[in-house]
Structure 1
C-alpha cells in the first residue's frame, strides 16, 4: 500500500493524475475548489412570445441579424420518434434579442437575464369587435410544457418570473395574448397564478367589475413587478392594466381598474411577494 501511495504521489506531481477540483487545460490549470458565495445565476426570467407570423417567416426573422430567441415552437410540431420537435436558435448560455426595452420586478435589460420562447401564432387581427387573438394549438402547448419544466429546473426560475412579453413591455407588446393558457400551465407547476379562495377573500363580496381607483390598482401592479411611474399618461396606465388582465384575468382585458383585478393583484402579492 505504501508503494502505491508513493506511485500516486509521483504521478500527481508529474501532472498525470488530476487533483479533485483541478482541471487541466492547454497551457494552464483551473482550480475550482474555492467557489465564491457572492455568485448569482444569470438566467432569472422566462419570457413567452408569439411570432405573429407563420413558421417559415418566423424562422427566417428569428435567424436574421435583427432579432432572435432561444427557442421556436411550431403551431403543430412535427413528431420524430413520437416526440415533438422544437427549434433551438440560440444556446441558453448566450444572449438572445427577444425582449427589447423591458422592465420586470425592478430589473431592466431583460435580454441579459432571460430565456425567450417564441410560439408560432398569427397574433391578433382587427375586427368590428376589436382585437381578436388566435388560439394556440394543443399540440404546441404539449410541446412547450416539458421544455419549460426543464428550463425552470435548470435555473430555478421563480413562478413570478415566468412572464408574457406584454408583462415586461406593456406599452409595446400584447403577446402571447389572452388566449395563452396561463392557468392550465400553472396547474402543471409553470408560472404564477392566484389562489381562487384568496381572490374571493380580497374581493369581499364586491361585484367583479365594480370600478376601483386606477391609482390603487397600479400601486399593486408596481409592487408585483410591472413598470409603473407617475409620469404615465392615462393611455399608458391602461396598457399596463391590460397586460396584467390578459395574463391573470383573460375573461375581460379592457384595461379598466376593477375590483376583481385588484383582488387578483392582492392575492398574487400575498402568494409570491412584492418586487425587490
Structure 2
C-alpha cells in the first residue's frame, strides 16, 4: 500500500528541537579533539569544533561541523538546565579547541590555575556562529550556557577567560546583567546570608541547586559556575553581595522576577 503525506494542517503546539546552545573547551589540542569527537570508540561528539587558529590567515576562519544540527551530538552528558535533564537531545554544542588551564595546575583551586586565553580570531568565529544558531532557533539569552552551567559538579568549561560579556555586547548572544540593576540590588537589597533564598534564585535562573539551606561543596561549585560565567574577576564560589546582586539582576531581566518595592528608609 502507498500513502501520501498531507501537510496542509499545521499544529500551533510545536517548537524547535534546539532549545539550548552549550559552549565548551576541548581540554585537548585541536588534532586530539578532532579524533575524540569523531571516532566511534570514544563515544563523544559535538555539532561544531573550532580550532585555535586558521591555517591560512587570509582565508575565512574554519569551523568544522561534525554533527548536523538536526542530529543529536553527545556533548552535554549528565546535565540539567531550567528543569530539563540530559540536554544532548535539545541542544547544539560548540567545542572550542583550548587546553583550559596548565596541566600542572590540575589540583589547584580554580582561582590559582593558569588559564589558557582564547585567540581573538577564534573568539570572533565562535561569536558569529553562536549568533547564527541563536537566531536560527530563537534561543533565549538565558539558554546560551557553558558546560559548567549545566554540569557544575563535574565541569568548568569554557572557563573564566571566555568572555560572555563580549559575546553579549558584540554579537547580541546570551545573557548579561545591566550594571544599574546590579547597583540597585547591591545598595537596596544586599545579600543577607540567606542561603536557602539564594538557592531558590539559582534554581529559578536555571541551575540545579539543592534547596536545603546548606552551603556545602556541591553548592560552592554551583556558585563558582555562576561566577565563572557572570563575575569572572572572582570565582572562588564564596557567597557575597555582588554575586547575589548579579543573580537578582539576571532574574529581573530574563526570568520575569518582579523588582521589590523600596521602603521609605531604603
TM-score (norm 1): 0.84
Q: Is the 8 A contact 1:217 1:257 kept in 2?
A: no
Query: Is residue 193 from structure 1 mapped to residue 168 from structure 2 by the alignment?
Result: no
Deviations 1:81-138 (A, max 9, x none): 7311110000100000000000001111210100000000001231697222211110
Query: Is residue 52 from structure 1 mapped to residue 27 from structure 2 by the alignment?
Result: yes
Map 1:95-110; keep pairs closer than 5 Å.
95-110=72-87
Counterpart position of 1:11: none
Query: Is residue 180 from structure 1 mapped to residue 157 from structure 2 by the alignment?
Result: no
Map 1:59-98; keep pairs closer than 5 Å.
59-65=34-40, 66-79=43-56, 82-98=59-75
What runs of 5+ residues in structure 2 fail to find an aligned partner? 258-266
Deviation at 1:200, TM superposition (A): 0.5
* Displacement over 6 Å in runs of 4+: none
Q: Describe the SS at the equivalent of 1:47.
A: strand
Map 1:221-260; keep pairs closer than 5 Å.
221-230=202-211, 234-260=216-242
Determine which structure has the larger strand proportion and give its number.
Answer: 1
Query: Is residue 122 from structure 1 mapped to residue 104 from structure 2 by the alignment?
Result: no
Q: Describe the SS at the equivalent of 1:133.
A: coil
Out of 32, 37, 50, the residue aligned to residue 12 of structure 2 is 37
Deviations 1:67-92 (A, max 9, x none): 00000000113358731111000010
What runs of 5+ residues in structure 1 fail to find an aligned partner? 1-26
How many angstroms apart in 2 are the aligned matches of 1:77 and 1:249? 30
CA RMSD of aligned residues (A): 2.1
Out of 170, 174, 178, the residue aligned to residue 152 of structure 2 is 170
Q: Is the 8 A contact 1:165 1:176 kept in 2?
A: yes
Structure of higher CA gyration radius: 1
Out of 254, 258, 262, the residue aligned to residue 272 of structure 1 is 254
Q: Is the 8 A contact 1:77 1:143 kept in 2?
A: no
CA distance 1:270–1:55, change in 2 (3 Å): same
Q: Is the 8 A contact 1:45 1:113 kept in 2?
A: yes
How many angstroms apart in 2 are the aligned matches of 1:199 and 1:32? 49
